């Protein structure tokens, strides 16, 4: 969400600069700033597409996503079990203050 907000601010800043040179420089700075993330992301997406072409890999990925969803749904109830509380904290689940 923050990346979308930042992109909108930069695009708005480039538009509001009312100068083609400054607007272009703002857009170029944004492009160069995101390049270190976009190149590996593109490379890994290409490799992931080849891996997900296999039916077994797709089923395994779907199982992981399903398990994560079930854990997310069950976390409020699991947090009340003391033996599972430490595991949920290790996974990044936190209880609300005062709950």
- What's the pTM value of the predicted model, to 2 decimals? 0.45
SS3 call for 87: helix
State residue 46's pLDDT score: 81
CA–CA distance, 6 with 15 (Å, rounded to integer): 14
Please indicate, yes or no, whether residues 2 and 15 belong to a single structural domain of this protein.
yes
Boundaries of domain holding 2: 1-51
Please indicate, yes or no, whether residues 61 and 35 belong to a single structural domain of this protein.
no
Q: Which residues of the chain have pLDDT under 70?
A: 1-18, 95-96, 98-99
State residue 65's pLDDT score: 94
Please indicate, yes or no, whether residues 40 and 19 belong to a single structural domain of this protein.
yes
């Amino acid at each position: 969400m923050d990346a979308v907000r930042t992109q909108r601010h930069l695009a708005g800043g480039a538009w509001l600069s009312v100068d083609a040179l400054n607007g272009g420089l703002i857009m170029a700075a944004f492009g160069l700033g995101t390049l270190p993330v976009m190149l590996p992301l593109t490379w890994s997406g290409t490799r992931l597409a080849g891996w997900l072409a296999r039916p077994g890999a797709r089923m395994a990925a779907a199982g992981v996503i399903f398990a994560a969803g079930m854990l997310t749904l069950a976390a409020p109830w699991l947090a009340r079990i003391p033996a599972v509380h430490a595991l949920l904290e290790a996974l990044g689940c936190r209880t609300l203050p005062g709950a």
